[in-house]
Structure 1
Amino acid sequence: MKVAEENKVKVFISYSWDSKEHQQWVISLADLINEKGGQAIIDRTHLKYGGHIKTFMLKSILDADIVLMILTPKYKDKADSLQGGAGFEYNIINDELFKIITQNDKYIPVLREGSLEASVTSFLKGFNCADLREGNDYLQNLDELIEQILGTPLKQPDSHKQNKPIMENEYKTLEPLIVEMKKKAKGYFDQFFNLENPAMGKAKMQLTVKNWEEEIETYSASVKEKFSPIKMELYEEYLEDFKNNVFGVELWTVKAALKTHDPDLARYKKDYRDADAEAIFDTVNGILSATHKYVSNEMPSINYSELNEIESLRMQYLNEEEMFMKKIVGFGIRSEILHRYYPSFFPIMTQKSLWAMYFICDSANEFITIEQRNRQGIMRVSHNWQYPYDRFTFLMNSLSNQLISWFGAHSIKLKEEWRFGYVNMFLSTIHEAHKVDIKLLHAWIDTK
């Protein structure tokens, strides 16, 4: 009697393409698992032509009952340096394994070649490995591993929607994250400006900076004019007009959400229609009033060129309850108000910038979140809209200092009053370069 696929233990195998012989051994292991009644998943047999590689890896790891990591010296090198497909998989595995470290029965390291020191990755050194190196105990160890795999209880499907953002205490240490950000961002910078040809590169940089500055000046001036203290006083007498003709029109994030045909934003449209105009005004006015005081009192003592810790930003006031309005004003909309009014002090943290940071820092998953609708059996990758704004500002300031340095090396001076505006434009360019990747990652995919 044939066992239904949903009743089989799903086993994802993470490995590196060391050699043809090693790849064939992995395929043989997968075949054995299938013959014994499991469901083995590997890229060579399950990743279709045209399939998005990172989406396949992410979905396969999260959906599996068991994940085998085939350890060899080459796998260790790629995993520890987070390079290639093995590095990407290992980073996901690390994040997930850390959450269940004391109750792990899903992630099994398998030593295939080399010594423990040469092949076991840094994080896995404290875990018991299945030894499948060639030797007298090979067949016995293989039988024991297969028996353990097939005895694994199947995951019980949840019946409700889940949103799984990376938790703040799981974020990567800042120093290595900044090192990676600088390195990868410089690669994008050199690519965008074609610095293999210095003369043409500098000409393109000069034109690009000119266009960026015109755009920053335009979008900042419009918000300062529409949301000035004088105008905000006037709006108190015309709250519905403020809601529908200022808040709903002037801010990109709100306007886009209200005009898009995206079914995921249909809820926001309804919430916006039902929202109290006075509550919207009070929230926006509260954000602006508190920020004007912050800029006046705190900013003169902050040295952005030598900022060395998040706490130096003193942004605690943004954590107050009145800085948000449930369902209407969240992190993204608030950051747009702050950035466009004060582009020298606040970055914009929206879908574009968070996705761009994901591609710059592809060893860190903290800029994305996994959405699952288990009742429907689907999942997708989204931007982490709950990312801490002070942490984001600290990272963006570091990137800003790099842009100042990189342009300065070509005798192009960036203006301090548009510090985070340049960062916004740079990240928007990276986002544009990855629109296809983002579309694939953000599409709902079947997990059944």
Structure 2
Amino acid sequence: MSGEYNEVSYITKKIKSNFPIYWVQIFGIVDQGVFAPNGMRISKNNKEEIKMVKKLIAKWERDIRDYHESFIPLFDLDMFDDYNDEKYEFQEFKDIFAKELWTVRGALRSFDPDLDLYKSKFHHTPGEDIFNTVRDILTETNDYMKNVAKKVDFKRVKSICDLRLDYLDENSMFLPGIIGLGIRSELLHRVHPSQFSIMTRRSGWAMYYLTDECDEFVIDEEFDGKHRTSFFWEYEYDRFSLYCNLIFNLLEEKLKKYDISLNPKYRFGYVNLFLNEIFTKHKEQASFLNKWRLVRA
């Protein structure tokens, strides 16, 4: 990555241009009246494909609902309240945090040596620090949902500032080395999938391929004579969310043509699963780029 972001209009154009390609690859529905490369008009009965897509969307919704609803009681603000006799003990919450968040659990169980530093940092970080940071995130987000979220019209969002996510820039919304943009995005998303996108390694790589391998989503790393390309974990979360919202609107518009509706309550969950499908199609390519390779002289 050059350290600079492209204009939003540029990335938006890329997503809109490539979305129809992945639409066909993932859902198998070919719109009537589309022209093939040889110039012939495509005419296809999508009846079976539509049935399969309905089943897939229903499964996606169940999956999103399940991971959302199972998360809510564990991250209820009452469990962080000093006046609650059942308030979490610090170590108790640290254990829950390690077990329940996919991103944290995956990092702690991974054999990838690149995650050794995270595992060590997590082991030595007091549970109180994790507890307090998560409580701050949940408290501020609760206020956001009550007073700001209703002002965000996802159908009309055109710019990053339209999402009104500035509150997430405060230092209290992070715990250096433990809760960064990716892990925090999972926390936010699983509590409020209607409002917050999830930014994972998979969704990040998917966005890279969806935008014709736009280098703002990745970063080149060099160490000890070796080189690799990784997802840029410091990518601006609100910028990423803007593009995720665009994808939801594109999905919703397409699916409506076939009488398939999406529940806005799970907005960014659908997007995440769509991006996961894109990642799966490029998994080998991404894995190759992400492996350390000797730099040629």
How far the C-alpha of 1:363 sits from its partner, in A, is 4.7
User: Which residue in 1 is equivalent to 2:35?
Assistant: none
Deviations 1:341-379 (A, max 9, x none): 100000001101110000101252111011111xx2101
> Would you tell me which structure has more strand in proportion to its own residues?
1
Instruction: Answer yes or no: is 1:415 the counterpart of 2:249.
Output: no
Check the 8 A contact 1:239/1:277 in 2, yes or no. Answer: yes
Matches within 5 A, 1:147-226: 165-167=1-3, 170-196=4-30, 197-226=45-74
Distance 1:306 1:182 in 2: 16
Matches within 5 A, 1:243-322: 243-244=94-95, 246-322=96-172
Check the 8 A contact 1:379/1:446 in 2, yes or no. Answer: yes
How far the C-alpha of 1:173 sits from its partner, in A, is 1.0
User: Which residue in 2 is equivalent to 1:241?
Assistant: 92
Distance 1:356 1:363 in 2: 9
Between the aligned residues of both structures, percent identity stands at 35
How far the C-alpha of 1:294 sits from its partner, in A, is 0.5
How far the C-alpha of 1:314 sits from its partner, in A, is 1.4
Aligned length: 279
How far the C-alpha of 1:237 sits from its partner, in A, is 4.8
User: Which residue in 1 is equivalent to 2:217?
Assistant: 367
Deviations 1:185-218 (A, max 9, x none): 2211111121245112201110110110010001
Deviations 1:222-246 (A, max 9, x none): 11111011223357551101101x1
Check the 8 A contact 2:78/2:87 in 1, yes or no. Answer: no
Instruction: Answer yes or no: is 1:353 the counterpart of 2:196.
Output: no
**3-state secondary structure, aligned to 1:369:** strand
Distance 1:186 1:273 in 2: 45
Distance 2:248 2:46 in 1: 22
Any unmatched runs of 5+ in structure 2? 31-44
Distance 1:229 1:315 in 2: 20
Distance 1:363 1:272 in 2: 33
**3-state secondary structure, aligned to 1:366:** helix
Check the 8 A contact 1:166/1:368 in 2, yes or no. Answer: no
Bigger RCO of structures 1 and 2 (CA < 8 A, at least 6 apart): 2
Does 426-435 or 234-243 show the bigger shift? 234-243
Check the 8 A contact 1:349/1:389 in 2, yes or no. Answer: yes
Check the 8 A contact 1:248/1:255 in 2, yes or no. Answer: yes
Distance 1:237 1:389 in 2: 29
User: Which residue in 1 is equivalent to 2:295?
Assistant: 447
Does 323-332 or 223-232 show the bigger shift? 223-232
Over alpha carbons, which structure has the higher Rg? 1
Root mean square deviation, CA, Å: 1.3
Distance 1:326 1:193 in 2: 40
Deviations 1:163-203 (A, max 9, x none): xx542xx2111112111102212211111121245112201
Q: 1:302 corresponds to which letter in structure 2?
A: V
**3-state secondary structure, aligned to 2:215:** coil
**3-state secondary structure, aligned to 2:270:** helix
User: Which residue in 2 is equivalent to 1:398?
Assistant: 246
**Structure 1 length-normalised TM:** 0.61
Any unmatched runs of 5+ in structure 1? 1-164
Check the 8 A contact 2:22/2:278 in 1, yes or no. Answer: yes
**3-state secondary structure, aligned to 1:431:** helix
Distance 1:209 1:439 in 2: 28
How far the C-alpha of 1:297 sits from its partner, in A, is 0.5
**Structure 2 length-normalised TM:** 0.91
Check the 8 A contact 1:194/1:200 in 2, yes or no. Answer: no
